[in-house]
Chain A
Amino acid sequence: MAPAFVRRWRDGPVSAPGRHGGRHTESVRELTEHLRAAGAEVEGPVPAPGAAAAVVELAAAAPHGAVALGAGEHRLEALGVPEALRAAGRELVRPEAADHPARLAAAAVGLTGAELAVAETGSLVLAAGPGRPRLVHLLPDRHVCVVEVSAVRPTLAEALAEIDPRSASAWQFVSGPSRTSDLEMRAVLGVHGPLSLAVLLVG
């Protein structure tokens, strides 16, 4: 193996996420594989300009009801997702509707953007906060989550190193749709939270 300084010159600085070359591509592949194994649908990676259309398509699997916007809304706006959904004729529910859980529960889709994702455990990391209610991905039947490829970390240790849990009242690691194996130790999807989880990788 080449010495470290040669590798750095060849592969770019190791500290910059998204520029790891091989290792990062491997992480995205691993994340996809682990999420699928847990019962999630995974699309992409798609380039940023195509993201809005892809979200509309993933939301279309649950056509009856509104789309609730949640964690990471600012990212969704940068990608043009809300406009594309409106253009597709979807009714949108603003995050502030968390004050009226019944409105969220009536929505067909909860749409979030992940702060980070963890390949090792197949997890999407969501932070609660202003504009990012916890309920938006819990109450609707379908959870659609947008993940930027640059936000994928290979291991849980690396993701935790970037998180200060004190910065939000809740950090949620979501690794699949709501599931139980209480009945005869066999997996059934969709208990209290969403029946399905769809993940769109962007970048």
Chain B
Amino acid sequence: MVREELVCLEDVYKTYDRDNWILQGINLCLKKGEIVKIIGGEGSGKTTLLKIILCSIYPERGRVSVMGVDTSSLKNYEHILLLRRYMGVFFENFRLFEYMSVLDNLLFINKMRDRKKMTFMPLIERFLSQLSLRDILKKKVMFLSPGEKARLSLAMIFSLDTPIILADEPFRYLSPSSVEKVIDIMEGEFCKDKGILMFSSKDLPSLKGRVFFLNEGKLHEIHSQDSGQE
């Protein structure tokens, strides 16, 4: 079966000071219905890779395409923002609107993305229940625990219903029961047409998918879901 390519990085190199290469010849493809986990320690280049996919920074060499669009060809900033609409991003520091309530955060981002209420409301309802956020619906984000913030951030990403989900350390603050719930969503029917690219410092074996190890700027595939090799 040929899967549609959502994100594709070919021979990507990145440096900030021309001496130390943060990324060296990264080749990676995220396809529809696939989960790719990139494991790496601190300073291994995970966040740089995420920024490159988000078109926040550009690589020195190589080609990056998102939804079939070569990101280097995007001259207009508005086109970059338009491309980001295909991506839902979980940030390590959550990037929530601290002064708004849980519900307002979910509604606000969907409205700012010009999504129709009838499209996003059922999803919000669903993930509020699935991620046990109903009890803290009116609570302001600034008063939430990191675990609650992580669940809210995930609910926000899922409610945006984007074909690509990028997640930077999504499980770090989650309790084991919450991790199970998130895995259920990621492996379930809802994400079967989406591509999930996850960055973390340690692997979560219970989540299926291809696993890559990012070390000294180089990406090594350590587990392939298709081949089952390790």
A binds B: no
A contacts, CB < 8 Å to B:
none
